Structure 1
């Protein structure tokens, strides 16, 4: 199966937005390890601890603190040097935060994407641009069918709507500007990602770890809900393989799902939480229903197109992804350095 190729990435000038976030932190470290020259563009971390701060920024060529909603700041940062490839991961990624601040989330996820693509129109060296959206871009009626790339986009909450709109904005920029310049621009729709170093609010694993370290029981709103869980290394590997293909193959699709292997067993929120709390020797979770919630209860994506066109599929099934994740947190809680743990797991993943 395809995997990130150090020979491809060595020496590549990569613009990585969202490098201070959870997935962006892993991506920046992995890219730099393969020899890429990584320039980060993002807001400062909004939680303590933050994986980006734990890793440090020495592996990056440059790190710019920029709000994507500020068009001038984005233009100035992007214009500072040429880039070969762009991975746009920066976003407001939390569903409940978007419900609390819909306008701010819409501005970041929609106009932030437009500001970045507008600034990239003058980049002569570009070989490909990959915009990361979400598995929640689809119009979800809770029917339980795994969504495919050609399904209708939609969103009944502000976060989902913002990501579906980012898809439309990206496609419009591709067709209006980048296609004629010969620069492939595509979107990647990742599943629900877990892994060591996620300390964000309102994230299942992060909430479990915080509760365990405080000696409390984590509270679940929807233990019966299903999600396309995947380990952060599977997700980031998919993005990197996709970017490689965009830069080297003209027949690469312009939108792909990344999630569990086709046919993998669904795992509910409650099942994941049970495995995670047991791994941490934590108190069992408890259920407090949120009757006002409009989050989808069932969500699955079909990652078959990525397997057929890229030769890529996830290597860690649900139980293995949880085990790798909890091992990271357990060892980090015992004092091991986050950077060493991430590099060790990257090594282990590459050897699978």
Structure 2
């Protein structure tokens, strides 16, 4: 909605979700693929998610993105619709296995992930070359400064 200068309606502002940048889980999948190539010992379910310190409610995410996007970004906080399908209030991922056995952990904090996301969508809105932009952002993510 920010792209179209329309207000974003937040249904459940206090709901907790495991927010992460798409490159976080992709880096986990790539790391797991390398390990699977080496050994079948790594076959099984894995969770790749944010650090527990970065688990925040919807309202935090929306307000942080609103600040990053600028004054034209508008939020409307709503109340959960009692007639709607039930949604869990809190969703979290236990990444202990990935951290312990793969040595994987998120490279970006939640705020870095939100900034990268906002920057990407601003570039898209400004009709920049998104292939180049995306490749640069991937390079930044995997750069030595952000290494595990």
TM exceeds 0.5? yes
- Backbone CA RMSD of aligned residues: 1.4
2:134 is aligned with 1:342 = yes
Which residue of the other structure, out of 37, 53, 67, is the alignment partner of 1:247? 37
Partner of 1:316: 108
> Could you tell me how far apart the structure 2 residues matched to 1:332 and 1:221 are?
26
How many residues are matched? 141
Is 1:264 the counterpart of 2:53? The answer is: yes
Partner secondary structure for residue 320 of structure 1: helix
Q: Deviations over 1:93-143 (max 9, x none)?
A: xxxxxxxxxxxxxxxxxxxxxxxxxxxxxxxxxxxxxxxxxxxxxxxxxxx
Alignment check: 8 A CA contact 1:274 1:285 kept? no
Q: 2:10 aligns with which of 209, 216, 220?
A: 220
Structure 1: which 5+ residue stretches go unaligned? 1-210
Residue in 2 that maps onto 1:283: 74
Work out which of the two has the higher radius of gyration on C-alpha atoms and give 1 or 2. 1
Q: Which shifted more, 338-347 or 288-297? A: 288-297
Unpaired runs of 5+ residues, structure 2, are: none
Separation in 2 of the partners of 1:239 and 1:264?
Answer: 22
Kindly report structure 1 stretches of 4+ aligned residues shifted beyond 6 Å. none
Superposed displacement of residue 216, structure 1: 2.1
Deviation at 1:239, TM superposition (A): 0.6
Shift of 1:236: 0.5
d(CA) in 2 for partners of 1:340, 1:265: 29
Secondary structure (helix, strand or coil) at the match of 2:12 reads: coil
Q: CA deviation at 1:289?
A: 2.7
Separation in structure 2 between the aligned mates of residue 250 and residue 213 of structure 1, nearest angstrom:
44
Distance apart, 1:251 and its partner CA? 2.3
Confirm or deny: 8 A CA contact 1:264 1:317 kept in the other structure. Answer: no
The structure where helix makes up a greater share of residues is 2
TM-score by length of 1: 0.39
Question: Quick one: higher RCO (CA 8 Å, sep 6+), 1 or 2?
Answer: 2
Give the alignment partner of residue 274 of structure 1, picking from 63, 68, 71. 63
**3-state SS of paired residue (1:294):** coil
CA separation of 1:315 and 1:285: change in aligned 2, threshold 3 A: farther
Distance 1:254 1:264 in 2: 26
